[in-house]
Amino acid sequence: NMFVVLVVDLLHEFELGVWCMLLVHLLRILTSLNRDLVHELDRRYQQVPLFGPVTIRRFSSNTSKMSNMAA
């Protein structure tokens, strides 16, 4: 049965949703304190080193926009 092979990874979907909500909450807190803190968060994400050429890519320069988020 081909549909058994295409099982949805609910834990993966749940973790991505929880991470997104947590990031949105953090961005709201930082924005309410000082808008420059959001830029500092983006800068720190840019400093995360690569984990190999094909595994984890570099974060975008504007991580707080959350475009193309995928786990």
Check residue 50 and give its pLDDT. 76
Token duo for residue 22: 């947590």
Hey, CA dihedral for 60, 24, 36, 50, is it positive or negative? negative
Helix, coil or strand: residue 68: coil
Using 50, 70 and 90 to split pLDDT, how confident is the model at 4?
Answer: low
Cα–Cα dist 38/70, whole Å: 20
Q: Per-residue pLDDT tens for 32-65?
A: 999 899 999 988 888 887 777 666 666 667 777 7
Check residue 22 and give its pLDDT. 86
Cα–Cα dist 56/6, whole Å: 24
Cα–Cα dist 36/33, whole Å: 9
Q: Per-residue pLDDT tens for 5-19?
A: 666 666 666 677 787
Domain edges within the chain: 9-64
The pTM assigned to this predicted structure is 0.62
